[in-house]
Amino acid sequence: MSNQRIKTPCVGLCSTVYGDLVCRGCKRFHHEVIHWNGYSEEEKRAVWLRLEQLLVQVMAAKLEVFDAVRLRSQLEQRQIRFVPQQSPYCWAYQLIARGARVISQLEAYGLALLPEFRDWALPELRDAIDREFFLLSEAHYERYIAPRFLRDGMTRL
């Protein structure tokens, strides 16, 4: 695996250029995408932490990571990029995002689907996870970010 640190949540599928307020690729807010390179390390950590918390919430509702050491080993062996400091549930997302069409036994990777998802095909589950992660990011934006922008805009008028 490359020793290069993942420096941005960007996955190369930016939808903010088409006017989305939340990127459908990385799930960052449009202003975070635009200003990322100007952010301090603390600001970047705050964005990474929010994304991690939302993704873990989605993943933990669908599967269990029962062997994080095995999962990490498999990711490294298959050269799938992941952020070692993040939760193993984020690692599991990287595995499913990259290997949904070729993985036949999740248990070999230290993962087990929860009972209500055991009959799902992995590509279908991957798409559902991505959709839910996006919806949570969008809801977070609408609840905590958009009202502030509206309020701040009103005081400048």
- Tens-place pLDDT, residues 84-140: 999 999 999 999 999 999 999 999 999 999 999 999 999 999 999 999 999 999 999
Residue 11: is its pLDDT beyond 90? no
Query: Confidence class of residue 6 from pLDDT cuts 50, 70 and 90?
Result: low
What single DSSP character describes residue 112?
Answer: E
Task: Give just the sign of the alpha carbon dihedral 121, 124, 130, 134.
Answer: negative
Answer yes or no: are the C-beta atoms of 62 and 93 closer than 8 Å. no
Residue 8: is its pLDDT beyond 80? yes
Mean per-residue pLDDT of the chain = 89
Predicted structure pTM score = 0.88
Size of the chain in residues: 157
Tell me how far apart the 2 most distant CA atoms of the chain are, in Å. Answer: 59
pLDDT score, position 50 = 96
C-alpha distances out from residue 72 to 17, 86, 89, 126, Å: 34, 11, 11, 19
Alpha carbon of residue 95 to chain centroid? 12
pLDDT score, position 154 = 44
- Select the more confidently predicted residue: 127 or 2: 127
Answer yes or no: are the C-beta atoms of 64 and 41 closer than 8 Å. no
pLDDT score, position 3 = 41
